[in-house]
């Protein structure tokens, strides 16, 4: 009997999260994708193999993850990497010296560091713009621009870029729209459906969701672009090990389930904080007071668990960070456990102070990654920490 597995985009997202890219293993029928711990594959005869030659090029555990995330993002091809930054570095190898890239000014600190400290010295040039304003983005595009890179919502200022407008601008200038979808996850936002050419993730965050691996993944629709990325993935070799792929694949099975709870907790905590601190001190796209709430509601189907609050001073920040007991003081986000951090000195520590001030990132800001614990415990923790 042949079982049909719902890889196709007609199945619902939760069904795809559990089944897409996966088949019972042929020998025993193991329902879970095996961990293929191998560097090479025995060939049937001279010049005859099963499509697998060497594991930098292909690994069945990795392929299952790649197909799974490709399906979640409504794409056709997925490419997994050893980290989010390794993924972005490989994407950037699509370009060559002399090419110009337009980038959101409030992208992840590590993205800025990769561009400013490494790729700039290899002949790529970058312009940083406020991607909230499509006109500014359009004005930054030149004849040499080959890509527009955006993150939405951004970290930690929760600023949005209008993905449909970004896709229109990029396409008109024959540039690729590359979207970091780590914050929203494909459960709440699918950039390829809005015209993006490449969507990528740090799988370290929501996709894995259990804070036990580091990884990245890129998804595209077009075959030609996919062939280039596959070539880079194999040639440059920033590939993940199979065990990390296996962990991420276990994580994506519960992604829709987890995101629902992150979102419910996020909304409730943001509303509570807005009452407690004043709505002007809480940044969350799901709050009606967020200046881009309407855009958020039009391109996202949920707002997730990331909240930024302004506490006014470093002293107050220190007090809260030292008092929390359920929220853990740590970098990273998107795991089942709630985390709290100080973006100015932590995730954005490598960004020059004048750049941070220029974009509105203050020393008094604290970022919450609301996990999936009981919301009463999270609220109680914040209450006692803020008291």
Residues at the site binding ligand PLP, with contacts judged by CB under 6 A: 83-85, 108, 110, 151, 155, 180, 182-183, 202, 204-205, 214, 216
Q: What angle do CA 331, 336, 340 make, to 5 degrees?
A: 35
Q: Tell the smallest beta-carbon distance from residue 149 to ligand PLP (Å).
A: 11
> In this complex, which beta carbon is closest to ligand PLP, that of residue 254 or of residue 332?
332
Q: Tell the smallest beta-carbon distance from residue 82 to ligand PLP (Å).
A: 8
> In this complex, which beta carbon is closest to ligand PLP, that of residue 36 or of residue 81?
81
> In this complex, which beta carbon is closest to ligand PLP, that of residue 155 or of residue 189?
155
Is 377 one of the catalytic residues?
Answer: no
Q: Which of 205, 267, 356, 367 is catalytic?
A: 205
Is 96 one of the catalytic residues?
Answer: no
Contact criterion met (CB below 8 Å) for 223 and 76: yes
Q: Tell the smallest beta-carbon distance from residue 212 to ligand PLP (Å).
A: 13
Q: Which of 7, 23, 52, 56 is catalytic?
A: 56
Spatial separation of the C-alpha atoms in residues 197 and 146, rounded to whole Å: 12
Contact criterion met (CB below 8 Å) for 118 and 110: no
Q: Which of 41, 108, 128, 284 is catalytic?
A: 108
Is 356 one of the catalytic residues?
Answer: no
> In this complex, which beta carbon is closest to ligand PLP, that of residue 21 or of residue 156?
156
> In this complex, which beta carbon is closest to ligand PLP, that of residue 61 or of residue 155?
155
Q: Tell the smallest beta-carbon distance from residue 9 to ligand PLP (Å).
A: 25
Q: Tell the smallest beta-carbon distance from residue 178 to ligand PLP (Å).
A: 12
* CA quadruple 214, 175, 219, 334: dihedral sign: positive
Exposure class string for 97-116: b at 16+ Cβ within 10 A, else e: eebbbbbbbbbbbbbbebbb
> In this complex, which beta carbon is closest to ligand PLP, that of residue 138 or of residue 347?
347
Q: Tell the smallest beta-carbon distance from residue 191 to ligand PLP (Å).
A: 13
Is 253 one of the catalytic residues?
Answer: no
SS (H, E, C) the chain: CCCCCCCCCCCCHHHHHHHCCCCCCCCCCCCCCCCCCCCECCCCECCECCCCCECCCCCHHHHHHHHHHHHHCCCCEEEEECCHHHHHHHHHCCCCCCCEEEEECCCCHHHHHHHHHCHHHHCCEEEEECCCCHHHHHHHCCCCEEEEEEECCCCCCCCCCCHHHHHHHHHHCCCEEEEECCCCHHHHCCHHHHCCCEEEEECCCCCCCCCCCCCEEEEECCHHHHHHHHHHHHHHCCCCCHHHHHHHHHHHHCHHHHHHHHHHHHHHHHHHHHHHHCHHHEECCCCCCCCCHHHHHHHCCCCCCEEEEECCCHHHHHHHHHHCCCCEECCCCCCCCCEEECCCCCCCCCCCHHHHHHHCCCCCEEEEECCCCCHHHHHHHHHHHHC
Q: Tell the smallest beta-carbon distance from residue 142 to ligand PLP (Å).
A: 25
Residue showing the smallest CB distance to ligand PLP in the complex: 84
Q: Which of 89, 162, 180, 381 is catalytic?
A: 180
> In this complex, which beta carbon is closest to ligand PLP, that of residue 41 or of residue 115?
115
Catalytic residues: 56, 108, 180, 205
């Amino acid at each position: 009997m042949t079982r049909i597995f719902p890889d196709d985009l007609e199945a619902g997202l939760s069904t795809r999260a559990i089944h897409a890219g996966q088949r019972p293993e042929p020998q025993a029928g193991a329902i879970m994708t095996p961990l293929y711990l191998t560097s090479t594959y025995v060939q049937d005869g001279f010049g005859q193999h099963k499509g697998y030659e060497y594991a930098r090029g292909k690994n069945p555990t990795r392929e299952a993850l790649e197909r799974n995330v490709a399906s979640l993002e409504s794409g056709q091809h997925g490419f997994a990497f050893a980290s989010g930054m390794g993924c972005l570095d490989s994407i950037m190898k699509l370009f060559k010296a002399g090419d110009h890239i337009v980038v959101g000014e409030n992208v992840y600190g590590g993205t800025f560091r990769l561009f400013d400290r490494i790729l700039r010295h290899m002949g790529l040039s970058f312009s940083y713009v406020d991607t909230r304003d499509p006109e500014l983005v359009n004005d930054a595009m030149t004849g040499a621009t080959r890509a527009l890179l955006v993150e939405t919502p951004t970290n930690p200022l929760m600023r949005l870029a209008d993905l449909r407008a970004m896709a229109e601008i990029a396409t008109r200038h024959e540039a690729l729209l590359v979207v970091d979808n780590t914050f929203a996850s494909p459960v709440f936002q699918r950039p390829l459906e809005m015209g993006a050419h490449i969507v990528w993730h740090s799988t370290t965050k929501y996709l894995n969701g259990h804070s036990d691996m580091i990884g990245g993944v890129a998804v595209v629709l077009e075959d030609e672009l996919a062939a280039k990325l596959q070539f880079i993935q194999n040639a440059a070799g920033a590939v993940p090990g199979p065990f990390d792929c296996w962990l991420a694949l276990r994580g994506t099975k519960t992604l829709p389930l987890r995101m629902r709870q992150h979102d419910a907790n996020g909304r409730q905590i943001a509303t509570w904080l807005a009452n407690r601190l004043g709505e002007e001190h809480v940044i969350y796209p799901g709050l009606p007071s967020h200046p881009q709430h309407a855009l958020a509601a039009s391109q996202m189907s949920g707002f997730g668990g990331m909240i930024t609050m302004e506490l006014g001073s470093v002293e107050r920040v220190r007090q809260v960070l030292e008092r929390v007991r359920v929220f853990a003081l740590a970098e990273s986000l998107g795991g089942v456990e709630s985390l709290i951090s100080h973006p100015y000195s932590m995730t954005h520590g490598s960004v020059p102070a004048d750049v941070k001030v220029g974009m509105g990132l203050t020393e008094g800001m604290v970022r919450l990654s609301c996990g999936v614990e009981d919301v009463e415990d999270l609220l109680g923790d914040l209450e006692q920490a803020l008291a």
